[in-house]
């Protein structure tokens, strides 16, 4: 690179790992004008800094080229494949099965903006108008699948769609899903059971006083805390829900990549 590096830039080892997932055409293809490495670095910078697309620094490729390539990668499922493989590497590195047998479900409400306002809903519990991201993570907190709805959609109404997506992503290895009291109800249990998953609701202690660490439930809350480090996901800045969903996979790819590269390098050296 001829420019001064940003803290969000990929290392050489990280790019060597990521490049095969993001290669949709030959290196010398005549229609390629910009380096995929620089495009992905620009996307990583935007996710971390939270700037609008049109305010990408001038030493990156033009914002329109970055956005268009991001959509191509998203439509091709590149980020989902990257996150899935890294999740397997990290799990195997900890002596676990590559595909999980248990997941944790929860919803995260993001405040709407001018761009996302037309599709927003009002979350009465959070007292916030915006979008709700319904996430499923493994017991290490790594993303498996998600759906995006207006914030007024109840968590329990998304159980069937989310569990079906989880089973597709894992090859139907998941047997148990932990969730909070927002998933209470017979319909939610039946929807999960229809996909081969037992839904277990972790309830608050009756005599709650102060902060209480709930079994299993804290895992997904930690995942939300990881996402809070990326300003692009501090609110719903996107006009389309599929863009918001893809950015979540981008962020988890950023979070998981350093550890996956270290584990893969250690495995190859041994």
| pLDDT at position 22 | 93
CB 125: neighbour CB atoms within 10 A?
Answer: 10
Structural tokens at position 20: 């095969």
* Residue 52 included in any domain: no
Lowest mean pLDDT among 87-91, 114-118, 123-127: 123-127
Is the pLDDT at 259 greater than 50, yes or no? yes
Range of the domain at 232: 78-204+214-268
Average pLDDT, the chain: 90
Q: Domain for residue 140, yes or no?
A: yes
In this structure, is residue 164 part of a structural domain?
A: yes
Within 10 Å of residue 163's Cβ, how many Cβ atoms?
25
Whether residue 38 has pLDDT greater than 50 = yes
pLDDT at 30: 53
Would 19 be classed as within a structural domain? no
SS3 220: helix
What's the total number of domains in the chain? 1
The answer to whether position 236 is within a domain reads: yes
Burial class (CB in 10 A: 0-12, 13-18, 19+), 257: buried
- Count the Cβ atoms, other than its own, within 10 Å of residue 61: 18
**Local confidence band at 139 (pLDDT 50, 70, 90 cut-offs):** very high
Q: Is residue 48 part of a domain?
A: no
In-domain check, residue 109? yes
d(CA 115, CA 244): 12
Compute the distance between CA of residue 15 and CA of residue 267 in angstroms, rounded to an integer.
Answer: 18
**Residue scoring higher pLDDT (205 or 220):** 220
Per-residue tokens: 203: 């309830």
SS (H, E, C) 75-136: HCCHHHHHHHHHHHHHHHHCCCCCCCCEEEEEEEEEEECCCCHHHCEEECCCCEEEEEEEEE
pTM of the complete model: 0.91
pLDDT higher than threshold 80 for residue 216: no
29 falls within a domain: no
Mean predicted confidence (pLDDT) in 190-195? 96
- Return the percentage of the chain with pLDDT > 90, whole number: 81
Q: Which residues contact 231 (CB under 8 A, 6 or more apart)?
A: 48, 49, 50
Q: How far is CA 223 from the centre of its chain?
A: 9
Q: What is the CATH number of the domain that holds 108?
A: 3.30.420.10
């Amino acid at each position: 690179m001829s420019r001064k590096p940003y803290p969000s830039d990929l290392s050489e080892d990280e790019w060597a790992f990521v490049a095969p997932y993001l290669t949709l055409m030959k290196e010398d293809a005549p229609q390629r004008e910009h380096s995929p490495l620089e495009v992905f670095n620009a996307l990583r910078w935007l996710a971390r800094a939270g700037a609008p697309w049109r305010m990408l620094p001038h030493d990156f490729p033009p914002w329109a080229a970055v956005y268009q390539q991001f959509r191509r990668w998203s439509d091709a499922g590149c980020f989902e494949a990257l996150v899935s493989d890294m999740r397997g590497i990290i799990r195997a590195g900890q002596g676990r099965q590559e595909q999980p047998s248990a997941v944790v479900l929860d919803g995260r409400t993001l405040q709407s903006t001018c761009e996302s306002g037309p599709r927003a809903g009002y979350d009465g519990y959070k007292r916030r108008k915006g979008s709700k991201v319904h996430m499923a993570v493994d017991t290490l907190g790594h993303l498996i699948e998600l759906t995006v709805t207006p914030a007024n959609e109840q968590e329990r109404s998304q159980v069937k769609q989310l569990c079906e997506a989880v089973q597709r992503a894992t090859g139907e290895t998941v047997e148990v899903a932990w969730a909070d009291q927002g998933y209470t109800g017979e319909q939610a249990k039946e929807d999960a059971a229809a996909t081969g998953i037992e839904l277990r609701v972790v309830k608050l202690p009756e005599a709650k006083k102060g902060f209480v660490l709930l079994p299993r439930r804290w895992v997904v809350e930690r995942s939300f805390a990881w996402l809070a480090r990326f300003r692009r996901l501090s609110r719903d800045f996107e006009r389309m829900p599929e863009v918001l969903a893809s950015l979540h996979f981008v962020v988890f790819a950023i979070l998981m990549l350093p550890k996956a590269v270290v584990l893969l390098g250690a495995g190859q050296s041994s």
